Amino acid sequence: MSYDDSNIFARILRGEIPAKKVYEDDHVLAFEDISPKAPVHTLVIPKGPYKDLAALAAQGTDAELAALVRALAKVAEEKQTADSGYRVICNTGEDGGQEVDHVHFHVLGGKPVGRMISRAVMAEG
């Protein structure tokens, strides 16, 4: 499936929907999640039209990829989670729990975020 430029993150990038920006550069935008799952819950997205991580890896430029990794660390540092710890999540596809078809990363912190996957979920597989 190709990239759908009507998704909510594409609309945020175009300024059609407001977002509480945390960080921005030429390649990346970071903003607060509207339904936070932790005291710190920031979304970090590339500005390019990439549906998922596979598309970003295949089509993204070295500059975009480097800017993304730097932005993830910068957001964690600015949100004061770098010393206490944080988690970066990138959900991909239906089984991975991706809800918006624009690749995005969740930076979670501000409290212990628990196990990555519960043992119950692993037992079901």
Report pLDDT digits (tens) over 5-60: 999 999 999 999 999 999 999 999 999 999 999 999 999 999 999 999 999 999 99
Q: Verify whether residue 104 is a known catalytic residue.
A: yes
C-alpha span between 81 and 18 (Å, rounded)? 25
The angle subtended at Cα 35 by Cα 29 and Cα 39, nearest 5°, is 85
Domain boundaries, the chain: 8-124
Contact between 62 and 46 under an 8 Å Cβ cutoff? The reply is no
* Catalytically annotated residue among 27, 102, 104, 106: 104
- How sure is the predictor about 116, in pLDDT bands with cuts at 50, 70 and 90? confident
pTM: 0.91
C-alpha span between 51 and 22 (Å, rounded)? 22
C-alpha span between 114 and 82 (Å, rounded)? 17
Evaluate whether the domain defined by 8-124 bears CATH number 3.30.428.10.
Answer: yes
